[in-house]
Amino acid sequence: MPLLDLRTSTRTFGASSRLAAVREHAATFLRHMTPARAANILRAETARLRGRTTVRAMPFFLKVETTGVCNLDCAWCTAGRRERGEAERPIGSMSRESFDRILDETGRYLLRINLYGFGEPLLLPETFGMIREASSRNIGVAVSSNMNLHSPTLARDILDSGLELLILSCHGATPESVRRFMGGRADMRLALARTAELVRERDRRGSRYPGVHWQYCVTGFNEGEMEAARGLARETGVDAIRFIRPTYPPDAGDEWYSSLFPRRSATASDFGGRSCAWPWRGAYVNWDGGVLPCCRGELFPANDFGNVLEEPFRSIWNGPRYRECRKLIGAPGRYVPTLPVLCSTCPVLGFRPARLRDGG
């Protein structure tokens, strides 16, 4: 296991993109650290470095999908697929009660919740109350949003919630490119106008939060617009713009790959370390309570390691599938799991990217 494993599944381009991400993570850790959380991290990292399959610590990071509903239709996003097959997870939203239940069990140890999965979180009015609840428990909350939102109280609702970081998803600097990536309904001007309004109101209140980062998936058809995007980012007032490597299924056409992130970068060669820290540090919770080690394979409930609304998180965290995936990560290519875990087809571990099917 790498000692200092700072990698996430998101690859960014350029020193300023990387620096923005690292600074933001460091700031959130310092802001929300408590003795209990520090001791928990120490236990989790010791377990990871020793390759322990049972972890006597809780995750310090959660990704929680509050809703699978979306107003846009990005290429390659499962939220854009309106028709769900029988084996696929239906589209729905998490209740406030379910969210509080998850926090009751895990909140003491969490430094950060990323409150989004495959849907538009700010479409769900309950999301704001969830952010407020998590913030009141001294947990930093980040939301990623397409900001194609018309609510007249949006800026106020975001600011009053205590949100720590807003990630604006806008994948291009012209309406044409943005629609090509995010679907025919995407309105780049609306997204940037709503974001600028939020930044103005934040500054008027003299607040540092939320930080606002523009996230831009670089493709073959929008890489020529990166300089224009930097200019728009300055005009909008966002704190940073980060250019990231998108992920696609293996059959995506050549136009989806840029010179910065060519097709080969989606394969194992880009992940040299063949390791993954997720199953020791964090977890992904679907809107229906289904738990996964990360957001990979979320479309199929058969991949879930358990359901946090049906059993205690702790028993899922050290249940058979978690133990199996930690064993696999400890010895990728050598250990053959006896249970279906989706890590066994993951490019991060050096396996060939595969189409995700139910059962991993």
Ligand X SMILES: C[S@@+](CC[C@H](N)C(=O)[O-])C[C@H]1O[C@@H](n2cnc3c(N)ncnc32)[C@H](O)[C@@H]1O
Binding site for ligand X (CB under 6 A): 70, 74, 76-77, 79, 116, 118, 120, 144-146, 167, 169, 215, 217, 246-248
Nearer to ligand X, 220 or 320 (CB): 220
Q: Which residue among 24, 120, 223, 304 contacts ligand SF4 (CB under 6 A)?
A: 120
The interface partner of residue 279, options being ligand SF4, ligand X, none and the CB cut-off 5 to 8 Å by kind, is ligand SF4
Q: Which residue among 61, 89, 102, 119 contacts ligand SF4 (CB under 6 A)?
A: 119
Q: How many helices, marked H, and strands, marked E, lie in the chain?
A: 11, 10
By the rule CB under 6 A, 65 interacts with ligand SF4 = no
Nearer to ligand SF4, 32 or 328 (CB): 328
Q: Is 68 exposed, middle or buried (0-12, 13-18, 19+ CB in 10 A)?
A: buried
Stretch that binds ligand SF4, among 132-140, 152-160, 224-232, 343-351 (CB under 6 A): 343-351
- Write b or e for each residue in 316-327: b if 16 or more Cβ atoms lie within 10 A of its Cβ, otherwise e: bbebebbbbbbb
Task: Provide the residue count of the chain.
Answer: 360
Nearer to ligand X, 118 or 322 (CB): 118
Nearer to ligand SF4, 308 or 329 (CB): 329
The interface partner of residue 222, options being ligand X, ligand SF4, none and the CB cut-off 5 to 8 Å by kind, is none
Q: Which residue among 94, 147, 266, 346 contacts ligand SF4 (CB under 6 A)?
A: 346
DSSP reduced 3-state for 242: strand
Paired sense of beta strands 211-217 and 240-244, if any: parallel
Q: Confirm if 154 and 198 have CB atoms less than 8 A apart.
A: yes
The interface partner of residue 246, options being ligand X, ligand SF4, none and the CB cut-off 5 to 8 Å by kind, is ligand X
Q: Which residue among 282, 290, 293, 306 contacts ligand SF4 (CB under 6 A)?
A: 293
Tokens 């890489």 sit at which residue?
223
DSSP reduced 3-state for 222: coil
DSSP class per residue in 248-314? --TT--GGG--SSS-GGGGSGGGGTT----HHHHEEEE-TTSEEESSSTTTT-GGG-SEETTTS-HH
Nearer to ligand SF4, 80 or 340 (CB): 80
Q: Confirm if 293 and 325 have CB atoms less than 8 A apart.
A: yes
- For ligand SF4, the binding residues (CB under 6 A) are 9, 70, 72-74, 77, 79-80, 118-120, 146, 169, 182, 276, 278-279, 293-294, 296, 325, 329, 342-343, 346, 348-349
